Amino acid sequence: MEPVKCIFCNPDPSIIIARNAHAYARFDKYPVNPGHILIIPHRHISTPFELTDEERVGIWDLLTEMREMVMNRYHPDGFNIGVNLGEAAGQTIGHLHVHLIPRYGGDTKNPRGGVRGVIPEKQDYSVEK
């Protein structure tokens, strides 16, 4: 049986919008909102806990650079930054990638709780249950 090829390990250069020595950035193929970007380390690892200090800085530098680009091009009202780790958390690709998701006023009925919305009944923590 042939090993499964990782779609993030050897990307088509035409989809890369920025890069540094440790990671690259590309638009998400299935964006949550306009301007949704992925930051992907060059090294094939599954979790951020495997990152070297230099890789961590490289990823954060690209996040900062891409935030500026998205602000200038798409003018969002906010951002979510996230990583899915493990099948139970929704990870579908075994190569670490960080989502930079622009948020726009009105893109969801109630954004309160942000990433807590991955479990909808836990999103609004202001309501006593």
Catalytic annotation present for 99: no
Q: Catalytic residue among 22, 36, 97, 99, which?
A: 97
CA 87 to CA 104: how far, in whole Å? 28
Characterize 100-122 residue by residue with b for buried, 16 or more Cβ atoms within 10 angstroms of its Cβ, and e for exposed: bbbbeeeeeeebeeeeebeeeee
In one letter, which amino acid is 50?
A: E
Catalytic positions are 97
